[in-house]
Amino acid sequence: MLQFFAKYKFFGVFLLILSTIIIYVFYRILEPKRVLPVYAPNDVSMELVDSTVQHVKKYHTIADFELLNQNGELVTQDSYKDKIYVADFFFTTCRTICPVMTNHMVEIQEKLKEDREVLLLSHSVTPEIDTVAQLKQYALEKGVDDSKWNLVTGDKKEIYDLARKSYLAAKDIPYSEYDLVHTENFVLVDKQRRIRGFYDGTDPEAIEQLLDDIKVLRQEQ
């Protein structure tokens, strides 16, 4: 009996390995492919959405825009055409959450520096303070890669509308028509200008999730 098992030991091991491979292949084929959700204003807390778009349940996209970056160059939606990008709202004189958010953006920039399909976009919510010169100084201090990451300033109403009506990433302040409180949210935008995720820009674990979701989105697109 022992001689019988010894004789077919190699064959048994071969069958075991083959069976394991077949089971793995079938599992990979049948495993549901992870797809990121597409967000609309109706999916987000109403305090982050302008009343004019709160009813929108689908087909929401980022509006056209014209802003200036840290080099005084015009940045528009065409600057991000056919790109995946991460957007946020900040201001250079912020001493609370902004430095942490910026450091995490720097981390994302470094981890994706060779990936030309993914860009970054940071909007100043105090454009009257954050001039082109101010943004340039800030960019140099933080090590911003101009080919990867735009820090933008411009018309305050346009930035306000982008935050509230497009990116869904800022709260209203009742005492002024064009004041807002930006959130810590990083917003993941796909090549069709649709929102695919929100992430706490102050949370290292959320940043790791964002990087993982970018991989998922790249496979999808």
pLDDT string in tens for the chain (221-residue length): 545 445 555 555 555 565 566 654 454 455 467 899 999 999 999 988 988 999 999 999 999 999 999 999 999 999 999 999 999 999 999 999 999 999 999 999 999 999 999 999 999 999 999 999 999 999 999 999 999 999 999 999 999 999 999 999 988 765 455 566 788 999 999 999 999 999 999 999 999 999 999 999 999 87
94 is in an annotated binding site: yes
> From CA 33, how far away is CA 209, in angstroms rounded?
17
What is the phi/psi pair of residue 146, to 5°? Answer: -60, -30
CA distance linking residue 145 with residue 108, whole number of Å: 11
From CA 92, how far away is CA 118, in angstroms rounded?
23
**Which residue, among 192, 196, 193, 194, has the nearest Cα to 214 in the 3D structure?**
196
pLDDT (0 to 100) of residue 220: 87
Residues 6 or more apart whose Cβ sits within 8 Å of residue 157: 178
What fold is seen in the domain 41-220? Glutaredoxin (3.40.30)
Closest CA to 70 of 143, 120, 137: 137
Domain edges within the chain? 1-31, 41-220
Q: What is the DSSP letter of 111?
A: H
pTM above 0.85, yes or no: no
Q: What integer pLDDT is reported at residue 175 of this predicted model?
A: 46
> In the prediction, which pLDDT does 16 show?
56
Read off the pLDDT of residues 114-125 as tens digits, 9 standing for 90 and up: 999 999 999 999
Binding site annotation covers 60?
no
Model pLDDT, residue 34: 84
> Helix, strand, coil % (nearest 5) of the chain?
40, 20, 40
